[in-house]
Homo-oligomer: A and B are copies of this chain.
Amino acid sequence: MKALETKILNEGVILPGNILKVGSFLNQQIDVDFLMEMGREICRLFSDEKINKVFTIETSGIPVAVACASAMHVPVVFAKKSKTGNMSGGVYSAEIHSYTHGNDYTACVSKDYLSKGDKVLIVDDFLANGAAVKGLIEILDQAGAETVGISCAIEKGFQGGGDALRAKGYNVKSLAVIENMDDDSITFRK
């Protein structure tokens, strides 16, 4: 998605540790008109698939998931990063290591919201080493739901998570794939 690449080049800030900060339009502050455009693009990329749910993980995956689900007219389900008092009954869960924050956490979803037969698109803001997506796939497997595809706004191609998932046969379509990122320079995959 050319408009996203342009936005990353214009507004993205590279921080130490291969972190790309896009707080001005995708996290912290959200350019909602642009967000909805990204959602429509994800919908278009997966228009050949029958999808009945969009699945993501809190926090920053939620806006992208809402935009995509709004274009697809299906519900969003999001995994929480810890079991809260509000989540009664059984849960599906997976352990995930956070690259950004350098810690481990448990992603969990109430069993009420994912079922056998669900055809699910996993959506997130970033795809780097793929740890979060792998955790979400694990949860969908527990529920007997089908992972129809994976779409992230920004894939850090050089961290390999997206290609590893493709090699396993998953249908991964990111809106922008960064091939290289060092100091002040960003190169996108053709």
For chain A, give the interface size range: 35 or more
Specify which of B21, B27, B77, B102 is in contact with A28 (CB 8 Å cutoff).
B77
B113 touches A24 (CB 8 A): yes
Known: A28-B80, A35-B66. A100 touches B73 (CB 8 A): no
Main secondary structure of the interface of A (DSSP, over half): mixed
1/0 per position for A56-76, CB-CB distance to B under 8 A? Answer: 001100110011011001111
Once bound together, how far apart are the Cα atoms of A30 and B110, in whole Å? 13
Q: Are B21 and A86 in contact (CB under 8 A)?
A: yes
Which A residues from 1 to 46 make CB contacts under 8 A with B? Answer: 13, 15, 17, 19, 21, 23-24, 27-33, 35-36
Q: Which residues of B contact A24 (CB under 8 A)?
A: 112-113
A185 within 8 A of B: no
Task: Tell me whether A85 and B23 are in contact (CB under 8 A).
Answer: no
Q: Least Cβ distance of A90 to chain B in Å?
A: 13
CB-based contact B85/A28 at 8 Å: no
Q: How far is the CA of A13 from the CA of B87 in the complex (A)?
A: 11
Chain B min CB distance to A86 (Å): 6
A190 within 8 A of B: no
Q: Report chain B residues within 8 Å CB of A33.
A: 70, 73
B63-A30 in contact (CB<8A): no
User: 18 additional contacts, CB 8 Å, given A29-B77, A35-B66, A62-B66?
Assistant: A15-B86, A21-B88, A23-B113, A28-B110, A29-B112, A30-B77, A31-B75, A32-B69, A32-B70, A33-B70, A58-B59, A59-B59, A59-B78, A66-B67, A84-B100, A84-B101, A85-B101, A85-B102
